[in-house]
Chains A and B, each alone.
Chain A
């Protein structure tokens, strides 16, 4: 079965602090990529970061970075220096022919 698990339905972080969102997945494919999307109240899906499964180096995009553990099928997102605008739903998943999404983590940012 192709599944994506986000075990944290909701998390909170203080502004300027660091938070890590967890994600595990299960696929038998070898060539795919992983992603994190942000969905603010507008519901627009915004790509935060992506990681090709064949790359060992963890992807980084400004304040966002991932910890990709391929053997463990783990793909966590770290947000550094959290800002109020980071508050949103965050969905992780992977892409092979189609997107497989987790159920999401709601991130609250406290001023």
Chain B
């Protein structure tokens, strides 16, 4: 059973470009979470999604950031018009559908975004 997969592992963008980060959850997992880790800091929650639904986006910046988890395919975190402050490691985690608030989350290897 493959773990959580994220791609790309490293992404370089110039200011003003768009960044798309992908996350494929573990098989059987229907919940996806995105976290951001700025340099020298811990992980901060961004958004929690189920298939075709955003459940909690309280950690998402109000502008330029969006996330989706379609019925088919991976979850996508999209950052439009990137700025240098978006440079960070972005982690995806997934969990199974039962006992939602108590479930262990399994982390992917992260995508390191560098904005030039």
A interface with B by C-beta (< 8 Å): 4, 31-33, 42-45, 47, 50, 91, 93, 95-104
Contact = CB atoms under 8 A, between A and B. Distances in A.
B109 A43 contact: yes
Q: Which 9 A-B pairs have the closest CB atoms?
A: A101-B42, A45-B107, A98-B45, A101-B43, A97-B101, A103-B42, A104-B42, A43-B110, A91-B42
5 contacts: A31-B102, A45-B110, A91-B43, A95-B102, A104-B41
B52 interface: no
Interface of B: 33, 35, 37, 41-45, 48, 56, 89, 91, 93, 100-105, 107, 109-110, 112
A85 B108 CA distance: 21
Contacts of A104: 41-42
Q: Give the dominant DSSP class at B's interface.
A: strand
Given A95-B104, A97-B56, A98-B48, A43 B89 contact: yes
Contact of A32 (B41, B42, B89, B102): B102
A49 to B, nearest CB: 12
A98 B44 CA distance: 10
Contacts of B100: 97
A97 B102 CA distance: 7
A53 B69 CA distance: 31
A102 B103 CA distance: 19
